Copies of this chain bind each other. A is one copy, B any other.
Amino acid sequence: MTETRYDVVGIGNAIVDVLSHETDAFLADNDMAKGAMTLIDGDRAAALYDRMGPGVECSGGSAANTIAGLAALGGRAAFIGKVADDQLGEVFRHDIQALGVGFDTPSDRDGKPTARCLIMVTPDAQRTMNTYLGACVDLMPDDVDEELIAASAVTYLEGYLWDPPHAKDAFRKAARAAEAAGRKVSLSLSDSFCVDRHRDDFLDLVERHVDILFANEDEIMALYRVPDFDSALRHVRGHCDVAVLTRGPQGSVVIAGDEVHAVPAEPVDHVADTTGAGDAYAAGFLYGLTQGRDLATCARMGGICAAEVIQHVGARPDIPLADIVNSRVGAAS
């Protein structure tokens, strides 16, 4: 197999987050499903933005967060996603390129604004997300450069990509290109409501294309429509090479053939905002994997990264991740 140019290329919705502290009553008054990611249209986005408190803007997007984390760890990373030719698009492009990530998907000039996610952080540090996809709906198969995919050890895809109309074709094109080049395909299930929207497609993907699956408890139970985690574990075993299941404060479980690793969560002083916890976990795990670490160490690295991002507002690392991870698990030999 030829040398890789990137450890991981991510494909996802290119989103700028707008985070605000809100009460549970605010969620109820505005008909939000707490903890979920809900898709909203431009009118709803404008109305919700009018009602929400002062915000902080930072680049987001699930796969983009993972790629940003991977780059912050020292990994070689690239990203494919669609922003508009506007100020928020410039913010997204700047932030990911500033981390050294290869990102050259052309901006959309179709008049749709860059996607934004209005995130309500409640006093319990839970986040409730409302996403207006904007320019993301114009991500097309042509935006997927097959040579880039073939040159990347892992192609990482977010389940949310199933929401915009053409992105699933981009997604499939990427998966085929990765397989043809003998590379790995990784998928994050993103959100249990997203799983409900696209269950049959996701089951097919997991069965036929996915080498490394990321899901949290709710998502994996939703995928197999089972009421408990242990049943989900039995279902997922054998469906993909590696299944990585995160359980919040209960840590994570990695299943790979006959191997099972249950790894506790990292200790955390104060949880400020859980936005991006799963994305950061995937960053740490995939970085470990592409550095040749064993699966238990990969899970540990994922947990360390997740612990960092939940201790501040915003989904991306605030401090040099590589230093923290290396100090706890040791640099790669």
Given A87-B88, A113-B87, residue A53 in contact with residue B98 (CB < 8 A) = yes
Query: Is A314 within 8 A of B49, CB to CB?
Result: no
A58 in contact with B56 (CB, 8 Å): yes
Interface centre among A21, A54, A55 (most CB of B within 10 A): A54
Q: How far is the CB of A30 from chain B (nearest CB, A)?
A: 14
Chain multiplicity (copies):
2
A51 vs chain B, min Cβ distance (A): 8
CA distance A316 to B313 in the complex (A): 14
Q: How far is the CA of A316 from the CA of B21 in the complex (A)?
A: 13
Q: How far is the CA of A313 from the CA of B59 in the complex (A)?
A: 16
Q: Which residues of B contact A316 (CB under 8 A)?
A: 54
Most chain B beta-carbon contacts within 10 A, residue among A57, A86, A94, A316: A57
Q: Is the CB of A59 within 8 A of B54?
A: yes
Instruction: State the CA gap A86–B89 with chains docked (Å).
Output: 13
Range of interface residues on A (Cβ < 8 Å): 20 to 34
A95 and B55: CB pair below 8 A? yes
Q: A78 vs B115: C-alpha distance in the bound complex, in angstroms?
A: 31
**What residues on B are CB-neighbors of A50 within 8 Å?**
94
Measured in the bound complex, the distance between the Cα atoms of B88 and A59 in whole Å is 14
Q: List residues 124-146 of chain A with CB under 8 A from any CB of chain B.
A: none
Residues of A that sit less than 8 Å from B by CB:
21, 49-50, 52-59, 68, 86-88, 91, 94-96, 98-99, 113, 312-314, 316, 318-319
A sample of 22 cross-chain residue pairs with beta-carbon separation below 8 angstroms, ordered by A number, consists of A21-B318, A49-B94, A50-B94, A52-B98, A53-B98, A53-B99, A54-B58, A54-B68, A54-B94, A54-B95, A54-B96, A54-B98, A55-B91, A56-B56, A56-B58, A56-B314, A86-B87, A87-B88, A87-B113, A312-B312, A312-B313, A313-B318
